[in-house]
Copies of this chain bind each other. A is one copy, B any other.
Amino acid sequence: MRSSQYLLSTVKETPADAEVISHKLMLRAGMVRRVASGMYTYLPTGVRVLRKVEQIVREEMNKAGAIEVLMPMVQPAELWQESGRWDKMDAELLRFKDRHTRDFVLGPTHEEVITDLVRREITSYKQLPLNLYQIQTKFRDERRPRFGVMRAREFLMKDAYSFHLSQDSLQQTYDAMYQAYCNIFSRLGLDFRPVLADTGAIGGSMSHEFHVLAASGEDAIAFSDESDYAANIEMAEALAPAGERAGATQALAEVATPNAKTVADVAALLQQDMALVSKTLIVYAAKADDKAAQTLVALVLRGDHELNEIKAEKLPQVQSPLVFASEEEIRAAIGAGPGSLGPVGMPLPVIVDRSAAHLADFICGANKDGYHLTGVNWDRDIKDYSVADLRNIVEGDTSPCGKGKLVIKRGIEVGHIFQLGDRYSQALKAGVLNEEGKHQIMTMGCYGVGVSRIIAAAIEQNHDDYGIIWPDAIAPFQIALIPMNMHKSARIEEATVRLYNELTAAGFEVLFDDRKERPGVMFADMELMGIPHSIVVGERNLDNQQVEYKNRRSGEKEMLDIAAVVDAMAQKLAK
């Protein structure tokens, strides 16, 4: 492609309305333009990257035995009413009426449509398992779209849905998808991690997120520094501290702690480490039935640890979703305010985090405003309590896999695989005749990749002060061919055109910058666009029958014999 016949649309100035680096660089490199809030036109450079990502995803899905379909973006309300999501989903589900005033939605996802299709098409266990996918435009009416294509309203997604009669079969397809996703992100050239994820409110039994690692990522992920273990920080188990708990050495004593409202205040006042001060949080207890009066539960953690709400609400004793008791409710139940609570003499059930349960001679509130207890010891001072994993992990914790310490990194979620179970198949009565000839509801998996989001994530991970640094596999062009002052030198032009023809004939995707621009402008544009390999044709080197090669990522330069360029590029791009 010659620049003069292309739409470069690079921009020097950093756009004011872009908050994150990928958004800024996608605007500056001429990849996207905003049409409305959360809606973008992909310019030619953006489309080239998008199509490459799409094609890699498609190839790996096909290889894993998934079959491509294409469902409509506009979906009839009836299916969403049948699944119950018509009422459950908020305004993110964009609803509208057609000319005959029938209700429709713009599809944010396709569980309903695919389940409806499969219940009509598939009648026998012989046709299972089945894994159908599509690469298709989605719409989610986000309240606050931002970060460019990272969180857009209209976006391109690969969504797959699998159907099974047994958990074993679901697990097999799930594993195949896990592997396919690893292949996809490896081929894309991204540093990524599959992490154990929470299955959330939808239910389901197993879920992994795929994160592209980037300092700017929205999500925190915990890794072992010695094994493959990785989990969303909300999911990572905090193990009990190793070894026996120390024995009690102090007597229980009450101390006045006026004006000490926080753990930090108490620790400072008593000149102790925050890890030795426990904190007690009061939450709603799970109810046996709807009519039972609301009761409360006390959760106890070390003062330097954070409650993990997802872990807490999964406990059978605790109401889900989690509700914190008000100060009024706390006073009514315990007779003291939130700043002075503790497990000693607590009139509520007590659940203690594993780390807090390992403390000896610790400090807690006295359940009496303005007082704390010191020298507190489990079993001696508190008889009735249970122990659970209640906290967020912190860096340095032992990895739940048993090998290594946990480190925390940030990631951008670009894929999600999920064992759905029968949430949708049950609602839509999607069943088949099983081997015994009986009607059986299918079990489902779903598998998503944010195709357009990957582009933003790739840039968050791969950029420098000069612009984007594309991995070879998804670069808009593989090679930038830059002649120096071609419009003044027939010799430069002749050499560059010949090289361009040779390289394109060899199958390389070359952007030949034939604009009448100063070399500096051309270099800056090619670097901003992130083209991984560049070749500069200049007068002086031409005297030696050479051109200069530069690697965008390493910055390394080398001289290449002009006759050897095609071979050299084949080697570099095969890496």
Interface residues of A (CB under 8 A from B): 5-7, 9, 33, 35-36, 39-44, 46-48, 50-51, 65, 67-76, 91-92, 94, 96-99, 102, 104, 106, 113, 116-117, 120-121, 127, 130, 132, 134, 137, 139, 141, 143, 153-154
Q: A36-B104, A39-B72, A98-B94 are in contact. Are A67 and B7 (CB under 8 A)?
A: yes
- Residue pair A74, B154 in contact (C-beta under 8 Å): yes
* Residue of A6, A36, A47, A48 with highest tally of chain B CB at under 10 A: A36
Q: What is the CB-to-nearest-CB distance from A96 to chain B, in angstroms, rounded to a whole number?
A: 4
Q: What is the CB-to-nearest-CB distance from A483 to chain B, in angstroms, rounded to a whole number?
A: 18
- Residue pair A117, B33 in contact (C-beta under 8 Å): yes
**Inside 8 A of A48's CB, which chain B residues have their CB?**
68
Residue of B nearest to A515 (CB): B126
A139 to B139, CA, bound (A): 14
Residue of B nearest to A92 (CB): B99
Q: A35-B75, A39-B72 are in contact. Are A130 and B94 (CB under 8 A)?
A: no
Residue of B nearest to A112 (CB): B35
- Residue pair A139, B35 in contact (C-beta under 8 Å): no
Q: A94-B99, A141-B98 are in contact. Are A117 and B41 (CB under 8 A)?
A: yes
A41 to B68, CA, bound (A): 11
Q: A9-B121, A65-B5, A121-B7 are in contact. Are A35 and B99 (CB under 8 A)?
A: no
- Residue pair B96, A91 in contact (C-beta under 8 Å): no
**Inside 8 A of A121's CB, which chain B residues have their CB?**
7, 9, 33, 43
**Inside 8 A of A154's CB, which chain B residues have their CB?**
72-74
- Residue pair A71, B41 in contact (C-beta under 8 Å): yes
Q: What is the CB-to-nearest-CB distance from A137 to chain B, in angstroms, rounded to a whole number?
A: 6
A39 to B137, CA, bound (A): 15
A41 touches which of B39, B50, B113 (Cβ 8 Å): B113
**Inside 8 A of A106's CB, which chain B residues have their CB?**
74
Known pairs A39-B72, A41-B70, A47-B70; list 11 more (Cβ under 8 Å).
A5-B65, A7-B127, A33-B117, A35-B71, A35-B72, A39-B75, A42-B71, A47-B69, A73-B137, A94-B99, A98-B141
**Inside 8 A of A6's CB, which chain B residues have their CB?**
67
**Inside 8 A of A9's CB, which chain B residues have their CB?**
121
A130 to B44, CA, bound (A): 12
**Inside 8 A of A96's CB, which chain B residues have their CB?**
94, 96-97
Q: What is the CB-to-nearest-CB distance from A435 to chain B, in angstroms, rounded to a whole number?
A: 15
A276 to B95, CA, bound (A): 62
- Residue pair A130, B7 in contact (C-beta under 8 Å): yes
**Inside 8 A of A74's CB, which chain B residues have their CB?**
36, 39, 106, 139, 153-154
**Inside 8 A of A143's CB, which chain B residues have their CB?**
99
Residue of B nearest to A73 (CB): B137
A317 to B12, CA, bound (A): 57
Residue of B nearest to A76 (CB): B36
A46 touches which of B70, B72, B113 (Cβ 8 Å): B70
A403 to B416, CA, bound (A): 65
**Inside 8 A of A91's CB, which chain B residues have their CB?**
99
**Inside 8 A of A120's CB, which chain B residues have their CB?**
33
5 residue pairs bridging A and B, Cβ less than 8 Å apart: A5-B65, A39-B74, A41-B113, A47-B134, A51-B68
